[in-house]
Structure 1
């Protein structure tokens, strides 16, 4: 049961956003830009970063949602996402993706500069300023989204919810969050 009274029975951030459409609009816009807007990083990889940070933050709703969204857009699907969430160092991802996940983990662990080693490793794999910027901003934003969802103790749905939400998000994006769209952030 959520720590606050909600006027709906939607799980996770969906219920929070439906309850407060005034906050849904800017939060939905931010996630739309971060995960679906222009970037040299494919949408599926950006979703994977969001899922990984959410897993590190022990936020099952966001890890499940963005894991499903990533799986729907990446070759390797659910098995790949599960491997990354279990151990990105052994997961079958590109060296660049692995390096960016390390940067995301550093951002998640402390409000401190990313280490020179992590930056050098990402650059050695071909990351430019935009890939590094987008990774840091996604990781930072998902620390906030995760704390919003976990801090208010929102309901966690079953696995079928995530798969259905993935169909909507992949097809239509994050527009309409909080209006009963049922998509996770």
Structure 2
């Protein structure tokens, strides 16, 4: 259920800001940003800071790899908005065919072993969290992922297991590929906070 205040903004200042950003983008401001403007205490400030830390903070993973992780979590949670948004960012830092192959089947995609093993951990955390076992984590470490990389990846999965659910619950509008691409540029430049 989408509240009218999320669509248009919940105050005059927010309404004007949404209009200005939409004009600057040359496209409708994506719903994720609209929700972030809606009563900052709802998801805006805290979730924005957490997402910024997970996606743009210091990490051995590249921004593109973390964006691919977010897209994978979105895929496992059946969230087409987040798949499209985070794929659009990931392909700005990695080959599009590689990102698409990972989204189709990361087991056979031409990605590094540590990333593949880490995605297996994230899939379990997302789809069957009660089934995560130490041997799966040890396998990721044996494949070359570091403890810090696993912690960073789990932070990405945690935040996007929340974001994908509210995106689906609020029935986010799915932008075109061109609109996703424009928004990707904005997120790469400005970040999530």
Measured against the shorter chain, the TM-score band is 0.7 to 0.9
Higher normalized contact order (CA 8 Å, seq sep 6+, divided by chain length):
1
Equivalent-residue separation in structure 2 for 1:10 and 1:149 (angstroms) = 14
The Cα of 1:113 is off from its aligned counterpart by 5.9
Contact residue 64 and residue 89 of structure 2 kept, 8 A: yes
Q: How many residues align?
A: 172
Tell me what 1:33 maps to: 53
Equivalent-residue separation in structure 1 for 2:113 and 2:29 (angstroms) = 38
Structure 1 pair 135/113, CA: closer, same or farther in 2 (3 Å)? farther
The Cα of 1:167 is off from its aligned counterpart by 1.2
Larger radius of gyration: 2
Q: Does 1:100 align with 2:114?
A: no
Tell me what 2:166 maps to: 148
Tell me what 2:70 maps to: 50
Equivalent-residue separation in structure 2 for 1:58 and 1:84 (angstroms) = 16
CA deviations on 1:111-170 (whole Å, 9 max, x unpaired) are 336222321221112222111111122112111110111011121111111111111222
Q: Does 1:4 align with 2:3?
A: yes
The Cα of 1:16 is off from its aligned counterpart by 1.5
CA deviations on 1:36-79 (whole Å, 9 max, x unpaired) are 101111111111101101011110111111111111112x1x22
After superposition, the CA RMSD in angstroms is 1.6
Equivalent-residue separation in structure 1 for 2:30 and 2:191 (angstroms) = 18
Equivalent-residue separation in structure 2 for 1:36 and 1:138 (angstroms) = 10
Equivalent-residue separation in structure 1 for 2:56 and 2:161 (angstroms) = 18
Equivalent-residue separation in structure 2 for 1:129 and 1:31 (angstroms) = 20
Gaps of 5+ in 2: 9-27
Considering fraction of residues, name the structure with more helix.
2
Structure 1 segments, 4+ long, off by >4 Å, are none
Report the TM-score when normalising by structure 2.
Answer: 0.82
Q: Does 1:119 align with 2:134?
A: no
